[in-house]
Chains A and B, each alone.
Chain A
Amino acid sequence: MYCLPALTKMNEPTNNPLQQLDLAPYGKAARWARFLAVVGGLFSLLLLVAAFLVHRMLRNPAELAQIEPALPTAARVSVWLLPLAALINFLPSFFLFRFALAVQKAVSRREQPALEKSFRRLYYFFLYFGVIMLVVITIYAILLVALGSAALMGLGEQ
């Protein structure tokens, strides 16, 4: 493993292996990734603010129940679900932001370790979404099986 020195002169003959690879598309990908990560982070923050507001509303559950009897229960569930959603949304944004930082460092300073770090962070980002997707598919499959068996049992009783 080695660290390449920063090279800026375009016409300078060099043995720098990174100099031969056009990293521009990778750098542009990182720029958009950073934007998406920032928006994702802000969205997580909004979810946390919403959870805080719902928590404050729960100080007076009787008032909420006057509007709709099921509202206090919904608010109690939301107080737990909203921070969970914020965390689930924050993690990929965090990986994406760190990926973007590593790519920027790799592109601007042409540093080999930064490039390798960026590959690792990109992997974590896709791994996270892949696992989340598997969990979602499993939940759907369980729901389908449960609904199917409930429908079959209902038909059997009739």
Chain B
Amino acid sequence: MEQNPTNLFDLQIDPVSNGFLAETAKWAKFLSIVGFVSCGLLAIGGLAVVTIFGSMSQSMGAGSGFGAGFGAGLSLIYIAIAVLYFLPCLYLYRFATAMQAALGVNDGVKLQESFKNLKSCFKFLGILTLVVLAIYALGFLFGGMAAMFSR
């Protein structure tokens, strides 16, 4: 059967490009679902950590408040990572579902929506990278200053 280029949203997308976009959406959906599961596991891990350290400090008796505090801190870090990881996964999932909907019914609005979510995903990861780089830079700065003053 002859495959003519599909006129999607007044934009010529040939079957090859259409196939690439459909496959991209499939892989993006898979990655986002794996991401959601990882977020859930991280959150469960965070709750488990606070429970384990809490019961450990209880069994050790008085004066072991450090264990419970450390557990709570670690749990907070786990949950914060889960929240930070959840957002790009959500954008990726929205990108994938909107792309699949756009390709399914030739909907230009859905295509725009999927591109917006792709942008939000990359933007979030970009800002997160900038924040991490800034933290590293501050760490190097303070580390260097501490090394200089300790001489």
Known: A25-B118, A26-B115. 20 other contacts (CB 8 A): A17-B10, A17-B12, A21-B112, A22-B112, A23-B115, A25-B116, A28-B119, A28-B123, A29-B121, A32-B119, A32-B125, A36-B129, A39-B129, A39-B133, A116-B14, A116-B17, A116-B20, A122-B24, A123-B20, A137-B34
Q: What's the A-B contact tally at a CB cutoff of 8 Å?
A: 85
With contact pairs A119-B24, A126-B27 given, residues A25 and B11 touching in the complex (Cβ less than 8 Å) = no
- Shortest Cβ distance from B72 into chain A, in angstroms? 28
Question: Do residues B21 and A119 form an inter-chain contact, with CB atoms below 8 A?
Answer: yes
Interface residue ranges, B against A (CB under 8 Å): 7, 9-14, 16-17, 20-21, 23-24, 27-28, 30-31, 34, 108, 111-112, 115-116, 118-119, 121-123, 125-126, 129, 133
For residue A109, CB closer than 8 A to chain B, the reply is no
**Chain B residues within 8 Å of A127, by CB:** 23, 27
- Shortest Cβ distance from B129 into chain A, in angstroms? 5
A133 to B26, CA, bound (A): 14
With contact pairs A25-B115, A119-B24 given, residues A133 and B30 touching in the complex (Cβ less than 8 Å) = yes
**Chain A residues within 8 Å of B126, by CB:** 32, 35-36
Interface residue ranges, A against B (CB under 8 Å): 1-2, 17-18, 20-23, 25-26, 28-29, 32-33, 35-36, 39, 112, 115-116, 119-120, 122-123, 126-127, 129-130, 133, 137
**Chain B residues within 8 Å of A116, by CB:** 13-14, 16-17, 20
Residue with the highest number of chain A CB atoms closer than 10 Å, among B11, B14, B30: B11
Question: Do residues B9 and A21 form an inter-chain contact, with CB atoms below 8 A?
Answer: yes
Nearest CB to that of A120 among chain B residues?
Answer: B20
Question: Do residues B108 and A21 form an inter-chain contact, with CB atoms below 8 A?
Answer: yes
A17 to B118, CA, bound (A): 22
**Chain A residues within 8 Å of B34, by CB:** 133, 137
